[in-house]
Structure 1
Amino acid sequence: MGVIVVTGTGTEIGKTVVTAAVAAVAAVRGRRVAVLKPAQTGLGSGEAGDAEEAARLAGSGVSGMELARFPEPLAPATAARRAGMAPVRPHAVAEAAEKLATEHDLVLVEGAGGLLVRFDDAAGTLADAARTLRAPVLIVAPPGLGTLNTTALTAEALRARSLEPLGVVVGSWPAVPDLAARCNLTDLPEAAGAPLLGAVPEGSGSLPPAAFRTAAPYWLGPALGGVWDAEAFAASVR
């Protein structure tokens, strides 16, 4: 897979750290990896964005790139409009990813918030970029109550656009999971109609990069280059 699009079911659910983990596992296997963030919002000039943070955690062999940055922490289309700046268009995202794919073995395109968050004034979304790229889409979902609904909606929106979810990774898996989180390990694949491909522990983004890279294969399943086993993990937390 030359390009994987990474979407969340919402905001602040560990999408950047999951992206970094996928990048780290690929880089450890000797692959050249690029992380592309189409629209970074809520940060000023000089502050580290999501793509840069993912590249930092994943280590050497991984590069980060942004297409646009808007200062206010809003949806990209809204942030661009309020800043008086040109928005990011889905076709520009696809073109940038395709160019990076000629120079890298794997390109990870990390969205902003959920799948249908608007990039521009024409209602362009990450889903439109994924459809142009014909790329698989990895869903990052939170572990707790309510995640089944948002995951099912995300998967349904993908299939309505003739896109198949690659699978689901749980972002920010808690140290002490509650009943809902434990049950969701079984129910998330059914909600998504796609396999559960990993669970990244909460707080992983604060690890030193070397420790992050060492641990990453144990958070992700074989489809993403790791050794994590969904059934064994579910059994261990019951």
Structure 2
Amino acid sequence: MPVLVITGTGTEVGKTVVTAAVAAAAVTTGRSVAVLKAAQTGVRPDEPGDAQEVARLAGEVTTAEVARFPEPLAPWTAARRAGRAPVRPAEVAEAADKLATEHDLVLVEGAGGLLVRFDAAGGTLADVAALLGAPVLLVASAGLGTLNTTELTARELRTRGLELPGVVIGSWPGAPDLASRCNLADLPDVAGAPLLGAVPAGAASLPPGEFRSSAPRWLAPRLQGTWDADAFRARQAP
């Protein structure tokens, strides 16, 4: 897959660290990788954004943003308040297509969840994926409440005819509670797609070299890793 769109069930679920892990795992196989942030919000012009954080953790990747807005809001709201033109899905798709001509893999990271609005017309990351004909990897949280948001997102992807290759848990706790451990079995059921990894909580604080060498162990073979969902579930069984 030359382009992979990465979305989350909401904000703060570990989208950026999962993007970094997928990028790092691909780089270890010798693939050239580009990371495109569709809309960066809540970051000043002189501050590093999510794409730069991916590069810090993953290493030799190309980074790009379509637009950046200073307030930590949904892209359309942030653009409107900044008095600037919004991001259009076609712009994001065009940027991803261009990067795909120069790289083996392009990771397009969204902002928030799948249906966060980019513009007044209601354009979303789902529209970007449809324009690209790209699969959408879903990043979910581990604990209580994640089943509902995961199923809602998966249903929307299916309704739109978009491929969901699987779900990655964006922050697996060091001491998981009962809900988190049960969700290892329930998440693939409600998503209708396999679990493709679990990134440990605090992974972004690892030294970059350690992050890069560890990333393949957090991801399934479909994402260039060695993580085994059945073995992980067995170790975490309630």
Q: TM-score range by the shorter chain?
A: over 0.9
Query: 1:206 matched to which residue of 2?
Result: 205
After TM superposition, list the pairs within 5 Å mapping 1:95-110 onto structure 2.
95-110=94-109
After superposition, the C-alpha distances for 1:85-132 in whole angstroms (9 at most, x for unaligned) are: 111100001000000000000000000000000001110000000001
Offset of 1:211 from its aligned partner?
0.3
Query: 2:53 matched to which residue of 1?
Result: 53
* Aligned-partner Cα distance in 2 for 1:141–1:209: 23
Offset of 1:172 from its aligned partner?
0.7
Offset of 1:38 from its aligned partner?
1.0
Offset of 1:166 from its aligned partner?
1.1
- In structure 2, what residue type is equivalent to 1:38? A
Contact 1:80 1:87 in 2 (8 A): yes
Matched, 1:23 2:11: no
Contact 1:9 1:139 in 2 (8 A): yes
After superposition, the C-alpha distances for 1:184-206 in whole angstroms (9 at most, x for unaligned) are: 00010011000100000010001
SS state at 2:168 partner: strand
Query: 1:225 matched to which residue of 2?
Result: 224
- In structure 2, what residue type is equivalent to 1:172? S
- Normalising by structure 2, what TM-score? 0.99
Contact 1:19 1:54 in 2 (8 A): yes
- In structure 2, what residue type is equivalent to 1:227? T
- In structure 2, what residue type is equivalent to 1:122? A
- Normalising by structure 1, what TM-score? 0.99
Offset of 1:7 from its aligned partner?
0.3
- In structure 2, what residue type is equivalent to 1:63? T
Question: What is the RMSD of the two structures over their aligned residues, measured on CA atoms?
Answer: 0.5
Offset of 1:164 from its aligned partner?
1.9
Contact 1:52 1:63 in 2 (8 A): no
After superposition, the C-alpha distances for 1:134-171 in whole angstroms (9 at most, x for unaligned) are: 00000000000010110000011111111121100001
Offset of 1:237 from its aligned partner?
1.4
* Aligned-partner Cα distance in 2 for 1:6–1:204: 18
* Aligned-partner Cα distance in 1 for 2:137–2:229: 16
Offset of 1:35 from its aligned partner?
0.5
Structure 2: unaligned runs, 5 residues or longer: none
Percent of pairs with identical residues? 72
Offset of 1:55 from its aligned partner?
1.2
After TM superposition, list the pairs within 5 Å mapping 1:45-194 onto structure 2.
45-60=45-60, 62-194=61-193
Number of positions where the alignment pairs a residue of Structure 1 with one of Structure 2: 237
